[in-house]
Amino acid sequence: MSAPGTLSVDLNGATAVVTGSTRGIGRAITERLLAAGAEVIGLQRGTEPVGPGHHCVGVDLTDPDARAEAVRQVLAEHDVDILVNNAGINLRHRFEEFPLPEFSEVMNVNLDAVVQLTQELGRPMLERGRGRIINIASMLSFFGGLNASAYAASKGAVAQFTKSVANEWAGRGVAVNAVAPGFIATELNASLREDEGRNSEIVGRIPAGRWGRADDIAGTVLFLTSEGAEYVHGTVIPVDGGYLGR
């Protein structure tokens, strides 16, 4: 029997593309997929691999032409079995003061890149009649947050996009799902955890009594690549320690 918190999945021979594969949640996902035997191609600006079996294609994910060229490079050498749309940004402003170019930047990375990569990497999956696409949504796919209107709009759209594409592709062998992280302890929210009052407020709302770990998200992504998830389509799975149910 596997140790608690582990999942045994055999991905030997599979190729996965992960955006933002070298930091935070993306790195944890990459490490889990590598441990299961997959080859992982990372798409992001940095190109330093995290271990054997991982290599990166450097790309500016804000640039549609650069995204298309990265896909061309990947498909020239690989059949992609798994796509994890993980990369995202959050720029915070009160909405009445939100610079519209920054709002568009968040939507471009968090939504437009997801749409483009899903379409361009998904087409060959449809031709082969198999594939797994996992989008990283958010708690703000469910509620609005504060001073995060662009992020909430983008992640709400990711959730609905996931469901809609799944309706079209589930019967054609390609499973499209999303994972919605709760409060996850990464470097991006270190300031929240260092704020004693805010940290106490957050943990007090989480039934599990702790912040999530990047590997908690990676484990759910790994499940969605497995045979056990063969009948799972169009879901947005909260991985939040029970936060939404409180």
* Joined tokens for residue 67: 């995204």
Q: Would you call 243 a catalytic residue per the annotation?
A: no
154 phi and psi angles, rounded to 5 deg = -70, -40
Task: Give the count of beta carbons closer than 10 Å to the beta carbon of residue 167.
Answer: 12
* Joined tokens for residue 210: 């702790």
Question: What length does the chain have?
Answer: 246
Give the residue from 53, 45, 183 showing the smallest Cα distance to 113: 45
Q: Looking at the DSSP assignment, which residues form a beta bridge with residue 136? A: 179
Give the residue from 169, 175, 168, 80 showing the smallest Cα distance to 134: 175
The residue from 103, 142, 151, 169 that is catalytic is 151
Q: Which residues are catalytic?
A: 151
